[in-house]
Structure 1
Amino acid sequence: MLATGTAAALLAPIVASAHSLEDVQEDLFEKEKYFQTKDEPAPDFALQEADGNPVRLQDLTEKVVVLHFLYAGCPDVCPLHAERIGDIQRLVNDTPMKDRVQFITITTDPERDTPEVLKPYGPIHGLDPTTNWMFLTSGPDRPEDTTRKLAEEFGHGFTVTDDGLQIHSVVTHIIDQKGQWVANFHGLGFEPTNLVLFINGLTNANVPHKEPEAPSLWSRMRSML
């Protein structure tokens, strides 16, 4: 895991200032080889949390969504991916962006990932379900392959071995406040602070920023008295 306290302290003055999305993207193209831009509507979904609460992508408008897929029985890369997202969640939540970002993990194995499995998974891997992270599944009323088909819509391929292991790609997807799929961060080799800076660019994209007005002659005269 990251030394998130130090990273957050370094990020704070950068995130506090406005960076245009275009500037952030140009910077990432130079510095982050695992970064990919997208520009298409995100595949819609209607899933549910472990306790049965429904969650639809369209309910999350006005928030930046950080989304990834895994299954709880994965013995290798999935827990590492979850811990990386946990690091990013802590970095984001140490900034004013906390209420403008939603982290979502979706299981590709809803048959085995029961509510009893889903509920403790986040805290074990450093994700905080009490703030802005949720672990979603298809629920009992939908086909078991619902979430796997959704992952395929996000570009993932699957190979299922005889012992039930799933071989799939590792990608963190970013969806903007309008439901537009705007970026992927591939694998686990990307720098988490780069993803946080990209989120910062998105959260500032639709916020008007005014240059401070020059003080009036009257104000300048009063300041001299």
Structure 2
Amino acid sequence: MQALAASVAVVLAGLAVLWQATDGGQALTAERARRLTALRDMPAVPEVVLETMTGTPLPLGGPTKRATLVEFIYTTCPTICQAAGAEMARLADDVRAAGLDESVRLVSISFDPGRDDPDALNAYGEGHGADGALWTVARPDPDDLPALLATFGVVVIPDRWGGFTHNTALHVVDAGGRLRAIVDYDDPAAALTALHGVVQ
């Protein structure tokens, strides 16, 4: 009888820990936990200045006139970044069609700023249809990169071939500079819904 009671206590304790660790059973993966944290905490995006594909400065974080949809890429990525770029091009068209182009900007941020100079950013942007106005491709100062990746929950791991393994998503930042939502890069409808939710 005591063994049964002890077993039940251990199982209940384990369930309590699992409940706590999964945010009440809502986050069974690290990616889901990252998205729930963004919704719950709305972290402030670090105030940094990016260098765009045209070589001009672009402030990120802090109050701005427009909400920002952010993705993280590197221009020599042969796989997911190319697909994400194609999705971002479609999303730019959707933003224009929804009449949000005056209140939203799209920014693809390179996490490989050492290699992704303005020429590389411009080639990637032009190759995917970024116009430099509604949608631009940019790089941070290398010193600002760790804080950006941490705030957005982006994981970047160098691979053996000079590239990176990384997670990919669309990050919605409101005009006040807070991360409000994270959605799948290939779900433009969810991105538009999230943008509508933060545009005044």
Q: Kindly provide the CA deviation profile for residues 67-86 of structure 1, in whole angstroms up to 9, marking residues without a partner as x.
A: 01100110110110111111
Deviating runs (4+, > 4 A) in structure 1?
A: none
Q: Does 1:50 align with 2:46?
A: no
Which residue, out of 75, 87, 90, partners 2:90? 87
Q: Does 1:199 align with 2:187?
A: no
Structure 2 equivalent of residue 114 of structure 1: 117
Q: Distance in 1 between matches of 2:110 and 2:53?
A: 11
Q: Kindly provide the CA deviation profile for residues 59-109 of structure 1, in whole angstroms up to 9, marking residues without a partner as x.
A: 761311000110011011011011111111110112321110011111111
Structure 1 residue ranges without an equivalent (≥5): 1-33, 207-225
**1:52 to partner: Cα distance:** 2.8
**1:193 to partner: Cα distance:** 1.8
Q: Distance in 1 between matches of 2:44 and 2:121?
A: 28
**1:194 to partner: Cα distance:** 2.5
Contact 1:87–1:126 (CA under 8 A) maintained in structure 2: no
Q: Distance in 2 between matches of 1:193 and 1:93?
A: 14
% identical equivalent positions: 23
Aligned amino acid, residue 147 of structure 1: L
SS in 1 for 2:157: strand
Structure 1 equivalent of residue 130 of structure 2: 127
Contact 1:70–1:106 (CA under 8 A) maintained in structure 2: yes
SS in 2 for 1:136: strand
Q: Distance in 2 between matches of 1:136 and 1:60?
A: 19
Between 1:112-121 and 1:65-74, the stretch displaced more is 112-121
The two structures have a TM-score, normalised by structure 2, of 0.73
Structure 2 equivalent of residue 177 of structure 1: 175
Which residue, out of 134, 159, 162, partners 2:160? 162
Structure 2 residue ranges without an equivalent (≥5): 1-31
Structure 1 equivalent of residue 105 of structure 2: 102
- 1:126 and 1:148, CA in 2 relative to 1: closer, same or farther beyond 3 A? farther
Q: Distance in 1 between matches of 2:162 and 2:105?
A: 30
Contact 1:70–1:107 (CA under 8 A) maintained in structure 2: yes
SS in 2 for 1:41: coil
What CA RMSD, in Å, does the superposition of the two structures yield over aligned residues? 2.2
**1:173 to partner: Cα distance:** 0.5
> Equivalent residues in 2 for 1:14-33 (5 A)?
none
Q: Distance in 2 between matches of 1:104 and 1:201?
A: 18
Contact 2:156–2:165 (CA under 8 A) maintained in structure 1: yes
**1:198 to partner: Cα distance:** 2.2
Q: Distance in 2 between matches of 1:167 and 1:114?
A: 20
Q: Distance in 1 between matches of 2:74 and 2:144?
A: 14
